[in-house]
Amino acid sequence: MIALTIADLAAAVSGDVHLAAPDTPDTVVSGAVDTDSRLIGRGDVFVAKPGETTDGHVFVGAAVEAGAALAIVEHVVDVEVSQIVVADAVAALADLAREVVRRVRADGDLRVVGITGSNGKTTTKNLLARILEGEGETVSPRASFNNEVGAPLTMLRVTEGTRFLVSEFGASAPGEIARLAGLVDPDVGIVLMVGMAHAGGFGGIEATFAAKSELVRAVRPGGLAVLNADDARVAAMAPIADERGVGVRWFGRGADAEVRADDVAVTADGTTCTVVVDGEAHPLRLRVLGEHHVMNALAAIAAATALGVSAADCIARLETVEIAERWRMQPLGSDSIRIINDAYNASPDSMSAALRTLAQITEPSQRTVAVLGAMSELGEYAEEEHDRVGLLAVRLGIQRIVVVGADARRMFLEAVAQGSWDGEAVWFATPDEAYEYLVGELRAGDRVLVKSSNSAGLRFLGDRLGESFS
């Protein structure tokens, strides 16, 4: 965080100061800000956030022992440290992020990019950050820090020398993207796609469209919306941009996109294509597995070139990226038995893309194995969408379908109903049971996809399989 006095901090969060010796209102604090006492270091600011299972106020003492210089709390804690008392710690975190970004923007050359979409946010964030890091200090989220806590914590990492802030905006309900993006008024807003992820929380696909379009509405006038020309719902956000005085830059596979991909070829080593940027062609070898990640790369290129990065530099930097993120199409195991661990997030769209990638990268002499768990946050659409995944796995000719968990059982039942199965599809209640089956079932030449939402816990099953067959 930039250097601020305790008085400045209190003003930013509308809090009351309770000083501990030897501090005064003019004492300067410049450490990192966090809500996790285990991550606090000397000079940092600890935000005591109440949680569902515990209360951050319990850990103020631990934060001070770790070196915290200041605590933002909802009530005074009997610990010898200066404290700023606020009505709502999470709201205070957002207010502080807004003020820090405002100050850096006013005094420097900070450009802010916001990213949203039903799928692909984290991959696109990582690809764009890799490009922009070559231009100057770039701040981007750790993992998927994209909610009401993670997004402000990312924003608070900017310094006076930061040139680019890349913010990822997730949401499970209407209004959340508007609140988060409103903290920074992005110069560039990227909308990747409107799909069924979190449809249960939003109340359907049209409500999801309205929620994702909140980012376009938050882009500052004179800024730019980077929109997916291949997604009709995303394309329908262009009039919103026009109303706001915001330009539009299109990416996609179609000929009309300003940044597009031609001649896409998918292999087990990655994806090759020709990227055309404003009429100029560039070959790209993307090592991140999966054809669907080409669209994420196009979005990153569209945003970066709008910010002044040459297309050639974008391509060169993207080719250094080996994986999107841990547990996202992450290759594990060995050349003999390859495990693809993609079990951090799952939606109908990403599940379909991952299964298609599995089919594309498997040679005729090899066997496809899909280890599938539940997709969360689909609400009333859950049964129908799980059925569709089971059907798709059959139609793609996946040779072994291993379904794990009660919430995913419909995938197994649909696979059995749609094919002439003789043990090709199996179901297990727990990841441990699935692991015991798989270590005896997998053989040389198998290509294994592990795919589920985070809550299903299959990412750890993928890790275990990767270690067993490394």
Span 97-124, pLDDT tens digits: 999 999 999 988 999 999 999 888 989 9
Tokens 């090899």, located at residue? 366
In angstroms, rounded to a whole number, what is the distance separating the alpha carbons of residues 355 and 213?
Answer: 28
Task: Flag whether 123 is marked binding.
Answer: yes
Tens of pLDDT, residues 367-421: 999 999 999 888 888 999 999 999 999 999 999 999 999 999 999 999 999 875 6
Work out the percent of the chain whose per-residue pLDDT is above 90. Answer: 83
Structure tokens at 432: 């441990």
343: left (phi over 0), alpha (psi -120 to 50) or beta: alpha
Which structural domains are found in the chain, ordered by start? Answer: 4-88 (3.40.1390.10), 108-318 (3.40.1190.10), 330-468 (3.90.190.20)
Average pLDDT in the chain: 93
119 known member of a binding site: yes
pLDDT at 248 over 90: yes
Q: What angle do CA 164, 211, 380 make, to 5 degrees?
A: 130
pLDDT tens digits along 59-80:
999 999 999 999 999 999 999 9
On the question of pLDDT at 203 being above 70, the answer is no
CB atoms within 10 A of CB 165: 26
Chain centroid offset of residue 104 CA = 25
**pLDDT given at position 265:** 93
For position 415, what pLDDT does the model report? 92
- Residue 284's DSSP bridge partners are 273
Question: Annotation-wise, does 368 bind a ligand?
Answer: no
Instruction: Find the mean pLDDT for residues 261-276.
Output: 93
Choose the weakest-confidence range: 244-258, 382-396, 416-430: 416-430
121 annotated ligand-binding residue? yes
pLDDT at residue 200 tops 60: no
Cα–Cα distance, 195 to 449 (Å, whole number):
22
Instruction: Specify the pTM.
Output: 0.88
Q: What are 244's two structure tokens? A: 């706001």
- For residues 292, 298, 303, 307, the Cα torsion angle rounded to the nearest 10 degrees is 150
What percentage of the chain exceeds 70 in pLDDT?
98
According to the model, what pLDDT value does residue 379 have? 84
pLDDT of residue 197: 58
Strand (E) or helix (H) holding 73:
strand 70-73
Q: In a 10 Å sphere around its CB, with 0-12 CB exposed, 13-18 middle and 19+ buried, how is residue 285 labelled?
A: middle
**Could you tell me if 111 and 104 are in contact, meaning their C-beta atoms sit under 8 angstroms apart?**
no
- pLDDT at position 207 is 84
Question: Is pLDDT at 52 greater than 80 in this prediction?
Answer: no
- Burial (CB count within 10 angstroms: exposed 0-12, middle 13-18, buried 19+), residue 409: middle
User: ∠ CA(379), CA(383), CA(389), 5° rounding?
Assistant: 115
Please tell me the predicted confidence (pLDDT) of residue 378.
Answer: 87
Q: How far apart are CA 186 and CA 219, in angstroms?
A: 5
Q: Is 118 annotated as a binding residue?
A: yes
What is the distance between the alpha carbons of residues 226 and 218, in angstroms, rounded to a whole number? 13
Length of the chain as a residue count = 470
- Three-state SS for 309-351 is CCHHHHHHHHCCCCCCECCECEEEECCCCEEEEECCCCCHHHH
Nearest to 105 by CA among 244, 189, 220, 11: 220
Q: What is the pLDDT of residues 128-173, one digit of tens each?
A: 999 999 999 999 998 778 889 999 999 999 999 999 999 999 877 7
Let me know: does 30 contact 21? Beta carbons within 8 Å: no
